[in-house]
Structure 1
Amino acid sequence: MALFAGLAILHCVSGIIFTDVVTDLVKYYGRTTMVTEFSCKRNESISLLKTLMKNGHQTKIMTINSLNIGYPVPPNHQVFALNLDCTNSSILLKRVNELKLFTSPFRWILYYTQSETILKSYFLDLDLLVDSDVTLCKLLENKTVLMTKIYKILSNYSMQTEEMGFWTKDGVIVNYNFEKNIARRRKNLDGIELNTCIVITNKDSLNHLTDRRDKHIDSIAKVNYVLVEHLKDIINATLNYSVQETWGYKDNNSEWNGMIGELMRNEADIGGTPLFFTSDRVDIIDYIAMTTPTRSKFVFRQPKLSYVTNVFTLPFDTNVWISTVCLVIIGAFVLHLIIMWEWKKWKMYGRSNNQSAVPEVKNSIIDTAFFTFGAVCQQGSSYIPFSIPGRITAIMLYVSLMFLYTSYSANIVALLQSSSDSIQTLEDLLKSRLQIGVDDTVFNRFYFPNSADPIRRQIYLQKVAPKGKKDHFMPIEEGIRKMRKGLFAFHMATGPGYKIVSDTFQEEEKCGLKEIQFLQVIDPCLHRIQESGIQAREVGLIYTKKPDCTSRGTSFISVGIIDCYLAIVILAGGMMAALLVFLIEIYLYNR
């Protein structure tokens, strides 16, 4: 078992014993450790300093008698050693307690030879709580060192001891039944009462914290209430709950309200409802774990392909379009050559034989172009070549273009009802024509206007709360109703949101749902509860997962004007051009 991770160092009366103990312990745990030793005389620690530095460990020596107790101990040093026999050692301990350096991740080794009666007075007013790692080392007569861990359940509780084992000249001897993990060793808190604050946004949720009714309301509070109750059983504590309506934000007087306010005023020991990890909160509260994953995202039904791109150019690959144009040009060229040959033949033989039949198609490039254009548009022609080669060419041109037209039309129908995957990032969402709505919750009201990221800031200013217009914060039911109609992105907690989606959407409407993360958060976990499977179970009972798409393509999707936008533009342009030509003809005729 491990004695202590990144362990603090023992300072013995004998410099030789002290050096050997430190060397053996560091070697035993196999970690490079930054060590700060408070010694009575600097020259006593030179041997230790040289030994640790030789083994690649950083070490700092401070003489306790000349130390200015008001000097703050550097917070980056995780391992400290102190000889309690030194003068002013008790004063240093009080200063360390004020700086809260007995808390995790700092670790201490305290060596002494004086009577334990005097020693106990050193720790009466110190907060050596359950997360502290303080090791008392006593040198015995046979040059054996007894190692003991000490801590308190509460500040005013009696001292608890944990016997670790012994060190001898032959090396480290430890108690192999000693659990190295502090959390597992000290999970019995003897039924102490812990004040716990939870956040409830809907008062009726207090009546349904465990019955799983209205799972989409205060989901995170309901899940974590159950998890905190499990935690209470694990650590053998009792919980005294208080309720707040908000997680905690600065008011006009720069004072924190809500759950954070209770934690700062020491009115609450535990925050029973998770909250976002933000830079302005790091200095005022300690984050332990996130018991539920953060699932607040923009959710929207992927728009049809025609909404974001020109579907009329998509049915064929570029090479197919080039081949089609070449086919039309070659067909028109061959057809024009045949028509020229027909007219030449008629002039040579038809006139001389007094034949009255004249080729229908004029020997004109314009007529050939109109004939080919009619074939491309599947409109046909009022006249055709009279020769067999001409008719074969015309039929081949019509048949080829008919197959191309059929394939094109089939692809257009499919594309008009296909979903686009062009919206993948927040920037894509900002540039799209999708409208945006946000679930009207306390944290959304705070984080959206206070986002510093340029893209997120523009989403808020342009689409969530445009200047001079009503903002788009709305109840979750209204937002999901608009999302169901399409062309609408809604920011919501996905657990409660998907519960409503599952209850209200048709099966085919659940297909094409897309998520984009907006809030930048992390998801740590409460390991003890997670490893046992309790966390996954409770989260799964409250949070609804994204609905599966089981019937894609089974419903009829109507095509709107926007889907045919480009075709309508071309048609309107053609009609305007035709009207312009008509007016010009009238003008020229009257001239």
Structure 2
Amino acid sequence: MLSNSVLKYLLFISFSIGIFSSHNDQAKILANSVRVLLEAIGKPGRLTVMACWPSDFSFRFYTSINNANESYQIVITQTDFINVSRDSTKEQHEFILIDFQCNGADTILLSAKEKWINYFWIIFDMQMSIETEEAFWSVSRNLPILITSEVYYVKSQNIFEKIVVQQLYRTDVLMPLIIEEFGEIINGLFIDYRRTTISSRRRQNLFGLRLKASMVVTNNDTLNHLTDYRETQTDPLSKVNYILTQFLMSYLNATAEYLIVSSWGYKDDKTEEWSGMVGQLVRQEVELGASPLFMTVERVPIIQYIASPTRTGSRFILRSPKLSYTDNVFLLPFDDFVWYCLIVLVIVTAIFLIISVFIEWKYVSNGMDADSSSDLRPSVSDIFFVIFGAACQQGSAAIPRSVAGRIILAVAFTILMFLYTSYSANIVALLQSPSTKIKTLKDLYESRLDIGVDDTVFNRYYFSHAEESMRKKIYTEKVLKKNGQDNFMSLEEGVQRVRQGLFAFHMELSLGYKVMSETFFEDEKCGLIEIAYLQVTDPWYAIKKNSSYKELFKIGLMRMHEHGITERENTRMYTKKPRCTGTGGNFITASLVDTKPALLVLLWGYLMALMVLGVEFFIKSIKEKGN
């Protein structure tokens, strides 16, 4: 028989082997459960395990979880390693596993703070008891687990039988925890209880939560017409997005509490503080901005833009001026090549006519009457006036005597008649044509048009803070006056001056087009030109930075766009560019501007005539003194 010492030794060996085998099985099952859960959630970029496991258990867990087709980047550390520091670009792909059975696990959970949003958390309780479960729920009530947090509570009384997976979140910091049944793991198989794999879709019900929203109102009467589609020329951006925000709240089963401000918000250069709606978002006094605003470099780091629900903007609007305001219409009827050909034709005709007339007058002494006033003489000045009269279809007082000379003159009159007819017809059409040369800010600046700006908060801010050279010139030289006043004016006055012509007005397109549709004649709606001044995109819907509801808001706004709600509200509130249906309905009379080149030619002719007359008198006086 074996001695007692030998029996004790054998029992110890057997017990140690059993414990080692049990640890190996538990590590393997735990690793398999974690791998199955990670596959259900999504592939992580990094897996950090905070546990108080023995080294052999940790080694078995590490080798088992990477023994499948998928391999993970795993770090196993002790529970006293509280400060988890990672590259912020990798946080959204970081999973943290915590064994709640370890001492200090509750301390790690309470010290996580903002990391509840940046990481995926998996909390294991593999030997769950009433005491440990109550301890976990007691700790979790004090955790900032919000609606975007990904927290998984994995519990089991017997790891070899069934593992229950639950997700935890709350709609607001002050609201109670919501427990979502995620699934179960039985014999290494995951049973999915989710109705959809997208967390934001499962959590879109906010259970009547009140969310604060900031809305810009520049006219107090706007509050009386937020939903009746009246007075659409006042605060249309806030009105249409108030309706869209109400639809968004209905989609999320939430309620919006609106805080009214008078401006979108701009930075004070002295105090470095933001005013208006942006200031409320920066100070986190509100959750979302119900009035879309422009996306600027200064605002991007401090607020979050999520969607562009309203296609509108502000631009310079002007009626195309007459062509004579930008071009010399007397040179436009013919192409440059035609003008060159015409000059060559006149020169060649004059040369042949001079030769013909010169030959005629060589035989004057052979019986031809040299005193007839109707005979064309071989003089350069006489030939010039004959050709000039032919070009102007004015006829000629003198004609050649020979048949050859008369044929030359007849052909010249015939050809120039057709050119004169074409020229006259084109001139009439060009006088009625609008100019298309004003297309850019530089063209507008160099034109003779006056400029005005709609007197709004954002127009005054963006015009006064323009840094680009051309935009600054437009503001300092055309918007601001030398007498200290400016050309900021009401919408109605600006549109009326646009109607009168030779005036460019910067305004919100929808508001201006509504007034134009109501006041302009049909022919006045033609030839409207748009020129962009503000270096911004269409207004964007904004929320506070790092908002827990960002995904919910984005999905809600996107669904409204897909279902046509956004387009419907914009169509009902905004007016599109008026259609041109009255072209040619109004005849434009010629003005002094149209005839300016002809008048200049006439004045220069008079001036030259007076100069020549003065020279003749001077020469005559010299001759008289000499005699």
| Category of TM-score, reference length = shorter chain | 0.7 to 0.9
C-alpha distance in 2, partners of 1:60/1:420? 70
1:63 Cα shift?
4.5
Q: Secondary structure at the match of 2:312?
A: coil
- 2:124 corresponds to which residue? 112
Q: Secondary structure at the match of 2:293?
A: coil
Deviations 1:115-138 (A, max 9, x none): 433333443233332233444445
C-alpha distance in 1, partners of 2:397/2:291? 80
The correspondence of residues 61-460 of structure 1 with structure 2, limited to 5 A, is: 61=75, 63=77, 67=81, 69=83, 74=88, 77-85=91-99, 90-98=106-114, 101-103=115-117, 106-113=118-125, 115-138=132-155, 141-142=159-160, 146-166=164-184, 174-175=192-193, 178-251=195-268, 252-347=270-365, 349-350=366-367, 360-460=375-475
- Report the AA paired with residue 341 of structure 2: S
1:365 Cα shift?
3.0
- 2:618 corresponds to which residue? 587
Deviates more, 1:492-501 or 1:227-236: 227-236
Asked if structure 1 preserves the Cα contact closer than 8 Å seen for 2:32 and 2:188, the reply is no
Asked if structure 2 preserves the Cα contact closer than 8 Å seen for 1:84 and 1:90, the reply is no
- What is the TM-score when the length of structure 2 is the normalising length? 0.81
Asked if structure 2 preserves the Cα contact closer than 8 Å seen for 1:200 and 1:244, the reply is yes
1:380 Cα shift?
2.6
1:238 Cα shift?
2.1
- Report the AA paired with residue 619 of structure 2: L
Find out whether 1:495 has 2:510 as its counterpart. yes
Deviates more, 1:374-383 or 1:71-80: 71-80
Which residue, 486, 497, 503 being the options, matches 1:471? Answer: 486
Q: 1:588 to 1:202 in 2, by over 3 A?
A: same
- What is the TM-score when the length of structure 1 is the normalising length? 0.85
Q: Secondary structure at the match of 2:257?
A: strand
**Is there any run of 5+ residues in structure 1 with no aligned partner, and where?**
1-11
Q: Secondary structure at the match of 1:274?
A: strand
C-alpha distance in 2, partners of 1:534/1:410? 53
Deviations 1:172-206 (A, max 9, x none): 6644x622334432222111222222211111111
C-alpha distance in 2, partners of 1:405/1:51? 95
Q: Secondary structure at the match of 1:350?
A: coil
- 1:512 corresponds to which residue? 527
1:96 Cα shift?
4.3
Say how many residue pairs are matched: 568
C-alpha distance in 2, partners of 1:302/1:47? 77
Greater relative contact order (CA < 8 Å, ≥ 6 in sequence): 2
1:583 Cα shift?
0.8
C-alpha distance in 1, partners of 2:246/2:574? 18
Deviations 1:22-61 (A, max 9, x none): 59957996x8x64363545998697699899998x9x685
Q: Secondary structure at the match of 1:286?
A: strand
Asked if structure 1 preserves the Cα contact closer than 8 Å seen for 2:522 and 2:580, the reply is yes
Q: Secondary structure at the match of 1:491?
A: strand
Asked if structure 2 preserves the Cα contact closer than 8 Å seen for 1:437 and 1:479, the reply is yes
Q: 1:132 to 1:473 in 2, by over 3 A?
A: farther
- Report the AA paired with residue 256 of structure 2: L
C-alpha distance in 2, partners of 1:580/1:81? 96
1:550 Cα shift?
0.8
Q: Secondary structure at the match of 1:563?
A: coil
- 2:19 corresponds to which residue? none
1:457 Cα shift?
2.8
Asked if structure 2 preserves the Cα contact closer than 8 Å seen for 1:81 and 1:110, the reply is yes
- 1:545 corresponds to which residue? 576
- Report the AA paired with residue 436 of structure 1: I
C-alpha distance in 1, partners of 2:69/2:328? 69
Q: Secondary structure at the match of 1:378?
A: coil
1:565 Cα shift?
2.8
Asked if structure 2 preserves the Cα contact closer than 8 Å seen for 1:294 and 1:521, the reply is no
- Report the AA paired with residue 574 of structure 1: G
Deviations 1:368-415 (A, max 9, x none): 223212222333322111222222221221121121122112212222
- 2:604 corresponds to which residue? 573
Asked if structure 2 preserves the Cα contact closer than 8 Å seen for 1:73 and 1:96, the reply is no
Asked if structure 1 preserves the Cα contact closer than 8 Å seen for 2:36 and 2:189, the reply is no
Deviates more, 1:132-141 or 1:279-288: 132-141
- 1:560 corresponds to which residue? 591
Q: Secondary structure at the match of 1:127?
A: coil
- 2:20 corresponds to which residue? none
1:233 Cα shift?
1.6
C-alpha distance in 2, partners of 1:137/1:228? 38
Deviations 1:295-314 (A, max 9, x none): 22221112222222233222
C-alpha distance in 2, partners of 1:496/1:144? 65
Deviations 1:189-243 (A, max 9, x none): 1112222222111111111112222110111111112111222221112222222
Q: Which has the larger radius of gyration?
A: 2
Q: 1:415 to 1:88 in 2, by over 3 A?
A: farther
Deviates more, 1:141-150 or 1:127-136: 141-150
C-alpha distance in 2, partners of 1:472/1:256? 27
Asked if structure 1 preserves the Cα contact closer than 8 Å seen for 2:242 and 2:291, the reply is yes
1:504 Cα shift?
0.8
Q: 1:109 to 1:590 in 2, by over 3 A?
A: same
Deviations 1:572-591 (A, max 9, x none): 22221121111111111121
Q: 1:298 to 1:172 in 2, by over 3 A?
A: farther
